[in-house]
Amino acid sequence: IQTILLKQRPVGTPALSDFEFVKENVELSLKDGEILLETTYISVDPYLRGRMNDAKSYVAPFELGKPISSGIIAQVAASKNEDFKKGEFVSGMLNWKTQQISDGEGLLKVDKDKAPLSAYLGVLGMTGLTAYLGLTQIGKPKKGETLIVSGAAGAVGSVVGQIGKILGLRVVGIAGTDEKVEMLTSRFGFDEAINYNTTTNMRSAIQEACPDGVDIYFDNVGGPISDAVLFNINKFARMIICGAISVYNNTEMPKSVSVQPFLVKNSALMQGFIVWNYADKFPEAMEHLSSWLTEGKLDYTETIVEGFENTPQAFLDLFEGKNKGKMVVKA
Ligand code: NDP
């Protein structure tokens, strides 16, 4: 059994040396009610960075010397729990281990014949729910409005933009490479996309891409990109603050524009969003996401890294923008 532990709390940008690998030669034996799980796919997510700090947040920090955990798809290898049969696949918040024992609590069964297993970590998992619920619950989109999405080529962003198109919005994406920008417009149907790494004046690039101004901003990155969006918001604009990856590794408070004058002047709304606070709406969201997928209205991409041992590197690569769509590790 292989396990990945948090060895030390990262300072600034996390490094491989913050993680520790442990190999054990043990046979896991099951008590009544337990199941043995073999890890199939591991989700690596930007929010895990926050859990590596020793700070109070909406989820408890990881403990030093203990396994990291995240969304995982696993196969039941043996079962002494009547709710789970050998061979079935489940998804849940599990440890970064090749094998582990569970009592089944909090696990959801997933059907590999309905969608590829990895999709249950992305478009049919937490990131798809985030995209749908953030956009609809806070963004309250109305046909014909303009939506701009940062982190647009990532797991959440690429789904947000497509849902925006389904709901009749003009959609503009912001991403970090020309290849991603091309993918957004040609594959995912965004009306326009901006490469923030090659654009010198983001404020005017956004203005050009959004001639009628910005009604909804789905923010995954924070920092200077979001500052540039603020200058282009319309009266009654809604800003969904879903993530701020550009500042997760900061060791000092970032300098940014004062948001208050923009909010006042435009009677605009800026609201933080945590998907877990909308759990009562998960069934509704899943219904939309899965039917749009089946109907071919929604597409998705993923970056699949091979090998359990590459999980920490895959996580680090999120901060370098090495992924397109959902970053997943195949164990
Ligand atoms: P992504 O798939 O979007 O991966 C992260 C992407 O962020 C990279 O591919 C990279 O793309 C971009 N990025 C990295 N560094 C920077 C930077 N300095 N400035 C701008 N962009 C950067 O991850 P997710 O879709 O899983 O998550 C997206 C955001 O949503 C994160 O902030 C995450 O924390 C948040 N989130 C929030 C949830 C909630 O409930 N609130 C739930 C799920 C996710 P590029 O090449 O374009 O730079």
Percent of the chain past pLDDT 90, that is, above it, reads 97
Residue (of 120, 116, 114, 112) closest to 94 by Cα position: 120
Beta pairing class for 192-195 and 89-95 = unpaired
* Encoded tokens for 98: 């090749």
pLDDT digits (tens, 9 = 90+) for 119-166: 999 999 999 999 999 999 999 999 999 999 999 999 999 999 999 999
Residue (of 207, 198, 191) closest to 175 by Cα position: 198
Q: Are residues 132 and 249 in the same domain?
A: yes
- Token pair 């396994």: residue: 67
Taking the C-alpha atoms of residue 323 and residue 330, their distance in angstroms, rounded to an integer, is 14
Say if 286 falls within a structural domain: no
pLDDT digits (tens, 9 = 90+) for 220-258: 999 999 999 999 999 999 999 999 999 999 999 888 899
Whether 245 lines ligand 1, by a CB cut-off of 6 Å, is: yes
- Residue with CA at minimum distance from ligand 1 atom 9: 321
Say if 289 falls within a structural domain: no
Q: Are residues 148 and 270 in the same domain?
A: yes
Residue (of 50, 37, 55) closest to 107 by Cα position: 37
CB neighbourhood size of 67 (10 A): 17
Say if 292 falls within a structural domain: no
CA 60 to centroid of ligand 1, rounded, Å: 20
Environment class of 142 (CB within 10 Å of its CB; exposed 0-12, middle 13-18, buried 19+): exposed
Q: For residue 187, what are the β-bridge partners?
A: none
Say if 227 falls within a structural domain: yes
Q: How many domains does the chain have?
A: 2
Taking the C-alpha atoms of residue 220 and residue 148, their distance in angstroms, rounded to an integer, is 11
Q: Are residues 149 and 266 in the same domain?
A: yes
Whether 151 lines ligand 1, by a CB cut-off of 6 Å, is: yes
Whether 268 lines ligand 1, by a CB cut-off of 6 Å, is: no
The pTM for the full model equals: 0.97
Query: What's the complex ipTM?
Result: 0.99
Containing domain of residue 314, as a range? 2-121+301-330
